[in-house]
Amino acid sequence: MNRSEILVSLDIGTSKVKVIIGEVSNDTINVIGVGTAESKGMKKGAIVDIDQTVHSIQNAVDQAERMVDMEIKRAIVSINGSHIQLQSCHGVVAVSSDNREIDNEDITRVIEASQVMSIPPEREIVDVFPKQFIVDGQDEISDPRGMIGVRLEMQGTMITCGRTNLHNILKCVERAGIEVQDICLQPLAAGEVALSKDEKSLGVGLINIGAGSTTVSVFSEGHLVDTTVLPVGGDNITKDLSIGLRTTTEDAEQIKKDFGHAFLKTALEDSTFTVKTIGSDEEQTFNQVQLAEIIEARLGEIFYFALQEFRRMGYPNLASGYVLTGGVMSLPGSVELARDVFQSNIRLSIPSHIGVREPHFTVGLGTLQFAYRNAKIQGKDFGSGISTTEVGTQQKNKDRKERKERNEKPKREQSKSSEKEPFMKKLQNYFFD
């Protein structure tokens, strides 16, 4: 790996698409560019409209490009969903070099050997992350390169996902003009930023509540052991507010951000606001307590579902408690409500890097950190996520225009052909009649 290089992460969420540009220098990542755009084409964490998703990705990429005055060529994409499964894997190889020194080639071979197992045709292997290497019986080795040995083993976790779900995500990214550099699992990415080494070692639950879904993950003995996705999130709270306040979804979302409070006991009755009633010009006045009654009921239910998932996984009590992250956690009172539901240690995780100090950036920043660390372990060589030469404003605008035209060309040709057909038919009818 180069001593200093630039990596780009792409997090396609239900409410927002986030692009983070990070500069890696001496094994630390500094955020130099951020782009966010409203996500259209996603529902409950899954793609429902490819064209709108492509457009959202392009908007976020353009915003990040303007910030750093560079052109993004490739990105590390984070994936999530109920279709993702984890399974243990084990690989064994003989050290190939004459002097018996373990190098990158041996690590690549042992990781490939661990993937030799039968998986259903509708599933695809996304990645393998090593838990430990074993050299001639000596275990708990994190990086065996440079060691002398005859037999190299690797125990790790294989990530598989639904083939169609993965291909739809990759298709959207590629149609947006971005090359997929690597794929990263969202719980692993979030855990990289949100959790400490001790928490992962003792056992901790990570709850990432986004707009369309809630990801529940368990880390134990330093590694991710189980994860699942619940199809409920911040959009359900917005929908409840829209019904309760009898207003539009857009107004309900804005009210949730400006006046929302998740814990009824600490909500303020003096904090009032007006809402335009849907279907009329009338305005009604509400206070934060009335808002908290609706939000607490739905968010409390999401926390209860998460607690049930932890119990189903076989982890009713976790030594390090639970860590909250995700966009919904920006709501005041969320931590107090979670303590009330879980009756355990609860803390909120917010990234500390300048420019991304919001809970919804946890996955994007973690994607950069985890992918970089995992690439070092596996001996992968990441090329820079941006073009090698800085691009002038005129050239960048030209590239964006060409990229947009490439995506719109098939649509134009289709519409032209549909316009041509009636005219040709008229012409044929005129001569042959």
Sequence spans of domains, the chain? 85-163, 229-348
Residue 129 pLDDT: 87
Q: Per-residue pLDDT for 41 more than 50?
A: yes
CA atoms of 196 and 261, how far apart (whole Å):
28
**What are 247's two structure tokens?**
């207003």
Residue 398 pLDDT: 55
CA atoms of 119 and 184, how far apart (whole Å):
20
pLDDT tens digit string along 189-208?
Answer: 999 999 999 999 999 999 99
**pLDDT band at residue 422 under the 50/70/90 scheme:** low
Helical H segments across 333-432, by residue range:
334-342, 362-378, 393-432
Q: Which fold has domain 85-163?
A: Dna Ligase; domain 1 (3.30.1490)
Q: What angle do CA 77, 81, 85 make, to 5 degrees?
A: 100
Question: Could you tell me what percent of the chain has a pLDDT over 70?
Answer: 88
Residue 73 pLDDT: 93
pLDDT tens digit string along 242-270?
Answer: 999 999 999 999 999 999 999 999 999 99
Residue 4 pLDDT: 58
Q: How many CB atoms lie within 10 A of CB 246?
A: 15
pLDDT tens digit string along 370-392?
Answer: 999 888 888 777 667 776 444 44
CB 296 within 8 A of CB 237: no
pLDDT tens digit string along 324-341?
Answer: 999 999 999 999 999 999
Residue 26 pLDDT: 81
Residue 392 pLDDT: 45
**pLDDT band at residue 429 under the 50/70/90 scheme:** low
pLDDT tens digit string along 69-98?
Answer: 989 999 999 999 888 999 999 999 999 988
Homologous superfamily (CATH) for 229-348: ATPase, nucleotide binding domain (3.30.420.40)
CA atoms of 307 and 15, how far apart (whole Å):
24
Q: Per-residue pLDDT for 427 more than 50?
A: no
**pLDDT band at residue 1 under the 50/70/90 scheme:** very low
Average model confidence (pLDDT) for the chain?
A: 88
**What are 254's two structure tokens?**
């804005």
- More confident site: 149 or 426: 149
Give the SS3 label for residue 357: coil
Mean pLDDT across 16-28: 91
From 155, 104, 110, select the one nearest 132 (Cα to Cα): 155
Question: Could you tell me what percent of the chain has a pLDDT over 90?
Answer: 75
Q: Per-residue pLDDT for 433 more than 90?
A: no
Q: Per-residue pLDDT for 236 more than 60?
A: yes
Residue 402 pLDDT: 59
CA dist list (Å): 340 to 262, 301, 335, 336: 12, 12, 9, 6
From 252, 262, 228, 279, select the one nearest 348 (Cα to Cα): 262
**pLDDT band at residue 321 under the 50/70/90 scheme:** very high
